[in-house]
Amino acid sequence: MSDQKITYRYSHAFKQKVVSEVESGKLTRQEARKVYGIAGGRTINDWIRLLGKNYLLNKVVRIEMKDEKNRIKELERQKRQLESALAQEHLKTITLEALLDCVEEHYQIDVKKNFGSKPLKKSS
């Protein structure tokens, strides 16, 4: 006995014929599967989505309270503000690090290592 899986490939014209028969009401999706020997349960739905008018497919409608929509918009606005602030701080950090590198190169000292140390007092 062979363990090979059989894959069916349907022509474009065949798919269009099945979709038109389902959309016209001649056949239901289940009847079309039986009449034409279509194995997959979602196959005809996929064909309708690709080739049909889509009015036979279920649509998802989201219903929400008015304040939910406003809250989502407010959170999105806050997110954009935070992303902008983060980007500005990142640019500021890069600029300061470049400035420190220039200072270290010009004065030949390690600014980061000596940062925060107290200057030496001269004795009189």
Q: Which domain holds residue 101?
A: 66-113
Q: Does the residue 123 lie in any domain?
A: no
Residue 90 in domain: yes
In a domain, 100, yes or no: yes
Asked, for residue 36, whether it belongs to a domain, the answer is yes
Does 44 share its domain with 75? Answer: no
Could you read off the pLDDT of 58-107 as tens digits, one per residue? 677 778 787 887 888 899 999 999 999 999 999 999 999 999 999 989 98
| Residue whose pair of structure tokens reads 């349907």 in the numeric block | 10
Per-residue pLDDT reduced to its tens digit, 37-46: 998 889 998 8
| 73 and 104, same domain (yes or no) | yes
Residue by residue, DSSP assigns the chain as ---PPP-----HHHHHHHHHHHHHTSS-HHHHHHHHT---SSHHHHHHHHHS-STTS--------HHHHHHHHHHHHHHHHHHHHHHHHHHHHHHHHHHHHHHHHHHTS-HHHHTTPPPPPPP-
Q: Is position 77 within any domain?
A: yes
Q: Does 40 share its domain with 71?
A: no
**Number of domains the chain contains:** 2
